[in-house]
Amino acid sequence: MLSNLFSPIRIGNMTSKNRLMMSAMSINFGVDDNCCVTDQLIEYFVQRAKGGVGMMLVGGGSVHPGGQELPDLPQMYTDDCIPALKKMVQQIKPYGTLFGVQLMHGGRQSYLPQKVAPSPIPAPAVVKGEVRALEIHEIKELVACFGDSARRCREAGFDFIELHGAHGYLINQFMAPNSNIRTDDYGGSFENRTRFLFEIIADIQAKTKKDLPIGIRINGNDYIENGWTLEDTVKLAPLLESAGIVYLHVSGGVYGSTELTIPSMYTPHGCFVHLAEEVKKHVTIPVITVGRIKHPDHADDIIKQGKADMVAMGRSFLADPFYPEKAKKGDFEQIRPCIGCCLGCIHAVLAKEPGSCVANPDVGREYKLKSEKPPEHSLKILVAGAGPAGMAAARQFALQGHKPIVCEKKPESGGLLALASTAPGRGELNDILEFFKQELKRLAVEVRYNTELSLDLINEINPDKVILATGSLPDMPVIKGLFQTKMDLATNIDVISGKEPVGNKVIVLGGGMTGLITADFLADQGKQVVVLNRKKNFAEEMSSNDRYYLRERLNKETVSLYKNVSIKQFIDDGVVFKANGEEITLTGFDSVVISEKQSAIRDAKELEGKTTALFHLIGDAKTPRHLMYCISEAEEIARSAY
């Protein structure tokens, strides 16, 4: 099984035990005040080395203080960083994983106020601020910084380095015409625009005596006007091979591109594989592909078909550090899945917060959990509700050695998340539910369906703790005319579940995540939809990457979006409201769908005090929020139960 993915491969003077690479990620935690790595980052990587990955990379290794992409990333620009890096390398070595550092300079995509780039052109998206063009002597200094940083990596004992020449960072900025309008030796022609890269390679080789393998991550396509293209990559690839590069890691996209560097669940799996496949035709060195490759059999098939020599994954190794080990054993159902929401990883990081994972709350806490002790006493736990929070709690209680029982008033598990997964493009939400279902089965956790929480049930089970994960329901707002209108009135749950059909012209009240998903659901059926958002922004609770694709889906003639709306009243066949200071009247509508706030379901709280069991609220039953809080809260209550 997976004989292609789990075969060794020779890369330069190295041999990787399998064809899986954990790609570099700017995780934004695990460094001290001087940006030297700490035990937090070390244990994060140790867990993933234990999990069996063939190669992995430290992300965001800054070669210059002025090129730091984010505030809490490892620095490689002084010798002070070497002792901590040595410690990290030594702790990884026993697991046989090739360990490298991705060296980078953010250029105009640095978070710092003083930004430099090939030309004084600001980044097209995400990062704001003025940019100063580099002087020739500064370019030479940065070339030396890359070489010096590589020398430090070699002294620390790393197996290889990877140059970040993709995603709109400094090397890519030099290569792409839209960010480089220089007229000197570093601009204009293809040769000049790639000169910076080749000077870096030569400087590294000179300072590391050519015994430190150098790979490069490069865009197959920038997916932006006048950017770097696949034709450029095909032209450059043989030149890089001739220069001594040992592998090409082919990705795509920059800040502001039409295809995002870190795509969400709306994007097809393997979205950048075709880029690597084309590049592979022009070189003999290994080519690594990346981009929404999630399932082990998919990864194996890419290798089998010769589209790439290795497969890189980032978020899948956030979600489950032991992905390789489980895949190799064929235990696919035990792999905790990335759901492509982009919320804990890229969204948090771009907000300059520590990276995390919706599916795996342990990310960044590995160093704290490694000394976790089992409970002294096993507790009997009753969990009310088999949605994501309830199942996550029950699973963690079982893993901690307790005895959970789950009751669910419906005939199936999943809660509102199961319903949300039926909306267009949201199917991967169900992956985390299936994971929890399989885990409860594997751990022999009893789940009683069609069973409401009651005093009789509590008396029968006699639990030490009752965990209320009973979810939430749509809140019905009080707006003039809403309950007198002749339009059909329904909630988003009624509509997506098919319980309440709606007409062909629909008003959706609510521009949050559920409102936009509901609008997309209706528009996908060919209905005309108007979204009225009473907030200033749409779907603020979504990651910007996920929201981007959803907004693109809603960019059609049949959908109208209004924000910062003040509703005057609903009328028989429409609504009167103000938006941007203008009063608007819409008529001729058939239905109104309520998709604004959610209210916690806390009916079972009335049982508290009638039993000696302790009650705890988690998930939406505590406060309706997004999935990240539901799962992390659920696992935390299980860990703190004793």
Phi, psi angle pair for 586, to nearest 5°: -110, 130
pLDDT of residue 288: 98
Domain 476-596 in CATH 3.50.50.60? The answer is yes
432-441 per-position pLDDT tens digit? 999 999 999 9
d(CA 164, CA 148): 16
Q: Kindly write down the DSSP assignment for every residue of 110-162, as one continuous string.
A: -SSSSEEESSS---SSS--S-EEEPPHHHHHHHHHHHHHHHHHHHHHT-SEEE
d(CA 348, CA 365): 16
Mean pLDDT of 545-559: 97
The DSSP bridge pattern shows strands 565-571 and 574-579 to be antiparallel
Q: What angle do CA 195, 140, 245 make, to 5 degrees?
A: 45
Residue 446 pLDDT level (bands cut at 50, 70, 90): very high
Domain with CATH 3.40.50.720 in the chain: 373-473+600-639
Domain with CATH 3.20.20.70 in the chain: 9-368
Label residue 438 exposed, middle or buried (CB < 10 Å: 0-12, 13-18, 19+). middle
Tokens of 428: 């991967």
Q: How far is CA 447 from CA 435, 439, 452, 483, in A?
A: 15, 12, 12, 39
Mean pLDDT is lowest, of 97-106, 241-250, 309-318, 621-630, for 621-630
pLDDT of residue 254: 97
User: Tokens 């749409």 appear where?
Assistant: 538
Q: H or E element: which one contains 553?
A: helix 544-553
pLDDT above 80 for 642: no
pLDDT of residue 373: 79
pLDDT of residue 112: 92
Mean pLDDT of 63-77: 95
Residue 626 pLDDT level (bands cut at 50, 70, 90): confident
CA neighbours closer than 13 Å in the CB half-sphere of residue 483: 4
Reply yes or no on whether 169 is catalytic: yes
pLDDT above 70 coverage of the chain, percent: 100
Cα dihedral sign for 367, 370, 371, 372? positive
Please, are residues 308 and 273 in contact by the beta-carbon 8 Å criterion? yes
The H-assigned helical ranges of 382-428 are: 388-399, 415-420
Determine which one of 77, 95, 111, 169 is catalytic: 169
Mean pLDDT is lowest, of 105-109, 269-273, 376-380, 585-589, for 376-380
Q: For residue 289, how many other CB atoms are within 10 A of its CB?
A: 29
User: Tokens 């220069």 appear where?
Assistant: 243
Residue 411 pLDDT level (bands cut at 50, 70, 90): very high
Bridge partner list, 117: 133
Label residue 370 exposed, middle or buried (CB < 10 Å: 0-12, 13-18, 19+). exposed
Domain with CATH 3.50.50.60 in the chain: 476-596
User: Tokens 């709606």 appear where?
Assistant: 502
Q: H or E element: which one contains 570?
A: strand 565-571
d(CA 257, CA 535): 27
Mean pLDDT of 466-484: 95
Q: What angle do CA 152, 59, 634 make, to 5 degrees?
A: 135
Domain 373-473+600-639 classification at class level: alpha beta
Mean pLDDT (the chain) is 96
Mean pLDDT of 159-169: 98
Phi, psi angle pair for 618, to nearest 5°: -135, 165
Tokens of 599: 């209210």
pLDDT of residue 95: 98
Residue 625 pLDDT level (bands cut at 50, 70, 90): confident
Please, are residues 464 and 568 in contact by the beta-carbon 8 Å criterion? no
pLDDT above 70 for 641: no
Please, are residues 620 and 471 in contact by the beta-carbon 8 Å criterion? yes
pLDDT above 70 for 205: yes
Please, are residues 41 and 89 in contact by the beta-carbon 8 Å criterion? no
pLDDT of residue 552: 96
pLDDT of residue 376: 80
Please, are residues 335 and 329 in contact by the beta-carbon 8 Å criterion? no
Residue 555 pLDDT level (bands cut at 50, 70, 90): very high
Q: How far is CA 103 from CA 128, 148, 160, 204, in A?
A: 23, 11, 11, 11
pLDDT above 90 coverage of the chain, percent: 94
Tokens of 477: 């707002």
pLDDT of residue 607: 87
pLDDT of residue 603: 81
Question: DSSP E strands: which ranges in 298-457?
Answer: 310-313, 380-384, 403-407, 446-448
Closest to 307 in 3D by CA, of 338, 266, 269, 335: 269
Domain 9-368 in CATH 3.20.20.70? The answer is yes
User: Tokens 């979504």 appear where?
Assistant: 542
User: Tokens 């799962």 appear where?
Assistant: 631
Mean pLDDT of 417-444: 97
pLDDT of residue 480: 97
